[in-house]
Structure 1
């Protein structure tokens, strides 16, 4: 038993890495990804400012400084292996990017100003704080820029999947961890309810099927659960909304949300019933497809 657990744990490592690489590859290289969408947004923005038509928008050139900033943000010029390690949180990535002119003061947030100077002897650039203009700052780095007499000032940070820093949501413009924390309580309630219902129903159904093996009840119930297994949850949810959510049938259950507007004014029992009322349709759509495997497991165990 111990060897089996160890093998499973060791197998989880390449499985996890393989899954992360597939996700990373799709996000990075599939057409219409975040980088492509930002490029299109910049083109449309330039077209809108110039008063061009929709046809001319696609041919509008993106300013080099904006294009360079976008390429640095998504690290598109870095090797694929380095971008993957940055995404995992195993390699430091540039953060707090600022385009600055050499020898000119640059505000880097919080009222703190720095200046980049070129060492005449070595030809390298160093960053100095105005409070100590003789000692280079160790936590600031410099990359050359396509803009003449300008450089990119940045810091480094190890952040990614392994550090539970998932960045900002491209859609909601908020940290992903914040979005997860907002939705986690509802997801946990929904998952717990689905878990209990699934195992209670499947335990009883699997036991009855085992006791009545080969009977009409066994055949009919198997047909029903396999039909339910073949229907995607999202499709079943849409049908339930139309029939029972007031789409064109009975207006019995709410079509969205997870609690009533006066939820805070209800008693504890009323709050439980109110939440359960909102959870009926999504729970049915989510759990019905899983009845087949668990029921057969109960029957054959």
Structure 2
């Protein structure tokens, strides 16, 4: 019963949080200059005047730019700005309650289908980075904790901290120069996720070609998170190794291997396991603008940036709604995993 009460409370708390995020973003958008009406009007003026540079400052200037009030009203109606902001916000909430994210101003397709079309690219990048991070950081962190203070520990810490200090896009540029046909080797492709002859390849050839294109962008995006997770793993294992129950187990004559993997491993994995759902689900929606731009990957990061620049408000609000909703449920799932892996945490305590 406590579990269901806790879930009901958390689900109810999601509603004001989600509304607050949407309301704040919607309010900020109202004060951002250069909306879709202004941008389209300026494009029409450039076309009429042969590309002469000018700017639109207020609706009072539209008539001097070749648009009368009737045409201006039609543009506002086209983009939905003929209604008051409060009514537009309420209409948006009603659509979102039915998971209708609206239609993009510039792509001329639904926001939901647009996000789904960009999702495979970001999912490939994020999921590969996630798997590589966890597969490397856990054994490396355990090895560092067991050999704390050794030469291996110091050298590996130096390498991963240097990698952490290098921004992902800088590392990406270096990888392209070194291995992407820049000034040195041409081992990996410069851009995209598939080769030009991808459609003619066998299923195994397609898989290998896809992985081949992922090597450089995944390497550029994984180095920073790898350093953080490795040090977190090391510190949690090191903290557990110094606990009293480990000394007691050693006094009973248990081997170091049995102590490490039977007792220490279970307790030390709690922080990593609780962060696993957020990292796993986040991998499906991970969008790195710089990495995607650098390697010409048309994913969610590039979509979000372009929608902000073009003032494509349905895409901005729709993607924010999806990401916030996913983030809230992921946080709830992480808390449930914490209770699942650590019996000392009770829902009564969380409720209180």
- TM-score category (smaller protein): 0.5 to 0.7
Unpaired runs of 5+ residues, structure 2, are 237-267, 269-352
Instruction: State the SS of the aligned residue for 1:264.
Output: helix
Instruction: State the SS of the aligned residue for 1:222.
Output: helix
Partner of 1:25: 27
- Tell me, yes or no, if the aligned pair for 2:164 and 2:227 is still in contact at 8 Å: yes
CA deviation after TM superposition for structure 1 residue 186, in Å:
3.7
Structure with higher strand content: 1
Output the CA distance in 2 between the equivalents of 1:46 and 1:77.
25
Partner of 2:321: none
Output the CA distance in 2 between the equivalents of 1:47 and 1:219.
66
Structure with higher helix content: 2
Larger Rg: 1
- Tell me, yes or no, if the aligned pair for 2:103 and 2:109 is still in contact at 8 Å: yes
Flag as ranges the 4+ runs of structure 1 deviating above 6 A.
Answer: none
CA deviation after TM superposition for structure 1 residue 191, in Å:
3.1
Deviations 1:104-157 (A, max 9, x none): xxxxxxxxxxxxxxxxxxxxxxxxxxxxxxxxxxxxxxxxxxxxxxxxxxxxxx
Q: State TM-score, norm by structure 1.
A: 0.63
Unpaired runs of 5+ residues, structure 1, are 91-158
Output the CA distance in 2 between the equivalents of 1:16 and 1:173.
27
Partner of 1:84: 89
Partner of 2:49: 47
Partner of 2:222: 287
For 1:238, which of 145, 155, 173 is the aligned residue? 173
Partner of 1:70: 75
Partner of 1:202: 137
Partner of 1:270: 205
CA deviation after TM superposition for structure 1 residue 46, in Å:
4.1
CA deviation after TM superposition for structure 1 residue 9, in Å:
4.3
- Tell me, yes or no, if the aligned pair for 2:141 and 2:230 is still in contact at 8 Å: yes
CA deviation after TM superposition for structure 1 residue 195, in Å:
2.0
Instruction: State the SS of the aligned residue for 2:144.
Output: helix
- Tell me, yes or no, if the aligned pair for 1:47 and 1:56 is still in contact at 8 Å: no
- Tell me, yes or no, if the aligned pair for 2:42 and 2:55 is still in contact at 8 Å: no
- Tell me, yes or no, if the aligned pair for 1:229 and 1:289 is still in contact at 8 Å: yes
- Pick closer, same or farther for the CA change 1:16–1:56 going to 2, 3 Å: closer
Output the CA distance in 2 between the equivalents of 1:82 and 1:220.
60
- Tell me, yes or no, if the aligned pair for 1:253 and 1:277 is still in contact at 8 Å: yes
Q: What CA RMSD, in Å, does the superposition of the two structures yield over aligned residues?
A: 3.1
- Pick closer, same or farther for the CA change 1:194–1:34 going to 2, 3 Å: same
